[in-house]
């Protein structure tokens, strides 16, 4: 394992309070959106985050970007200037730090201001977050427009004149123009056609190599995650159940939930390198998660121990971690 990760997350928890009805509203419980997640993100890698809706993927991304405050845990960011504890950043220090971390939104139609030209949209982060003069901003603008395959004519137009793929390229140029080190993609290609998705993914890979970027890639489309990710983390009900290099997750998944997810990916000849698992039932209520292993209510291998004891997060191979009492026993 490499040393000095760009981002280190330790026991991250994000809980949202639930209030009673009526005039005097009291806290009656918490939705445990993220409940004890630990991982490292190394410089230049892409970590894919997968899991069903409500598993906590977006909440982790928002907590890393400091748009959501954590309930507990530590998040540190290391670069050439030193180590910063992100959980202590507030006010002006947080605003100043934001240029190091950026977000690409899911909907390229809603995330661009229709009253601004593309030139103004892309230049705005530099105008807000740096003290560059107009000539320097224009120089950066032209560089990042070219990197994202936008020409001078495009810069004079308004967002409505562009297709979905072109708009997402504008969003990427806007996010990267401050030269961030870390970028979160939250379902950033899921609103695009398949051919355009491939074009955008290839552009992201090219930009990552050229600029040394580190990505957190959140998506529900597993084939897209497989294409771009170095490692993949599988989330279930606010906790990681498996974290491994991409090839291990797709060809040698060890956790029953990961196997169930991978079984839903169509293969060309209908065969898998592992025994497929069909899931039944819904993801439980995150305000009242099951005791023991949170997956036991849907797991075909569940036994008494699974209902009583939380599985520990353990290493089973190089860079491969799972949380399951019985993975080796029932799957091999």
Q: Residues in the site for ligand SF4, rule: CB under 6 A?
A: 256, 293, 295-296, 299, 301-302, 306, 311, 324-326
Question: Whole-number minimum distance, CB 36 to ligand SF4, in Å?
Answer: 16
Question: Whole-number minimum distance, CB 230 to ligand SF4, in Å?
Answer: 25
Question: Collapsing DSSP states into helix, strand and coil, what is residue 293?
Answer: coil
- Distance from chain centroid for Cα 329: 31
Question: Whole-number minimum distance, CB 225 to ligand SF4, in Å?
Answer: 21
144 versus 257: smaller Cβ distance to ligand SF4: 257
98 versus 296: smaller Cβ distance to ligand SF4: 296
d(CA 186, CA 103): 8
Question: Which CB contacts under 8 angstroms, 24+ apart, belong to 160-169?
Answer: 160/114, 162/118, 163/196, 164/108, 164/109, 164/191, 164/192, 164/193, 164/196, 165/192, 165/193, 165/196, 165/199, 165/200, 167/108, 167/109, 167/112, 168/104, 168/108, 168/192, 168/196, 168/200, 169/200, 169/203
Longest dimension (CA), the chain: 68
182 versus 295: smaller Cβ distance to ligand SF4: 295
Question: Whole-number minimum distance, CB 13 to ligand SF4, in Å?
Answer: 20
Question: Whole-number minimum distance, CB 50 to ligand SF4, in Å?
Answer: 16
Question: Whole-number minimum distance, CB 285 to ligand SF4, in Å?
Answer: 18
User: Quick one: which of 70, 79, 10, 96 has its CA closest to 42?
Assistant: 79
Which residues are registered as beta bridge partners of 320? 317
193 versus 328: smaller Cβ distance to ligand SF4: 328
123 versus 277: smaller Cβ distance to ligand SF4: 277
72 versus 330: smaller Cβ distance to ligand SF4: 330
């Amino acid at each position: 394992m490499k040393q000095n990760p760009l981002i280190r997350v330790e026991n991250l928890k994000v809980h949202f309070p639930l209030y009673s009805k009526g005039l005097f509203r009291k806290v009656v419980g918490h939705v445990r959106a993220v409940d004890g997640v630990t991982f490292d993100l190394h410089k230049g890698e892409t970590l894919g985050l997968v899991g069903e809706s409500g598993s906590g993927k977006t909440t982790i991304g928002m907590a890393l970007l400091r748009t959501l405050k954590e309930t507990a845990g530590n998040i540190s960011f290391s670069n050439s200037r030193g180590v910063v504890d992100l959980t202590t950043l507030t006010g002006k220090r947080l605003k100043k730090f934001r240029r190091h971390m950026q977000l690409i939104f899911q909907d390229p139609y809603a995330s661009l201001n229709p009253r601004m030209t593309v030139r103004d949209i892309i230049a705005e982060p530099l105008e807000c977050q740096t003290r560059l003069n107009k000539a320097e901003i224009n120089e950066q603008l032209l560089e990042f427009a070219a990197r994202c395959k936008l020409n001078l004519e495009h810069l004079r137009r308004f967002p409505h004149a562009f297709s979905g793929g072109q708009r997402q390229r504008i969003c990427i140029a806007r996010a990267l123009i401050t030269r961030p080190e870390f970028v979160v993609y939250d379902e950033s290609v899921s609103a695009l056609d398949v051919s355009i998705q491939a074009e955008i993914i290839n552009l992201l890979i090219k930009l990552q190599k050229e600029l040394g970027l580190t990505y957190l890639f959140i998506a529900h489309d597993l084939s897209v995650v497989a294409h771009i990710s170095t490692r993949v983390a599988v989330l279930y009900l606010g906790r990681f159940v498996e974290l491994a290099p991409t090839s291990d997750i797709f060809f040698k998944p060890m956790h029953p939930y990961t196997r169930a997810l991978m079984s839903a990916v169509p293969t060309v000849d209908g065969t898998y390198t592992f025994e497929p698992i069909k899931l039944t039932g819904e993801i439980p209520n995150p305000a009242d998660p099951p005791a023991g292993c949170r997956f036991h209510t849907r797991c075909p291998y569940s036994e008494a121990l699974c209902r009583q004891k939380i599985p520990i997060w353990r290493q089973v191979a190089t860079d491969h971690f799972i949380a399951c009492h019985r993975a080796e026993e029932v799957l091999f």
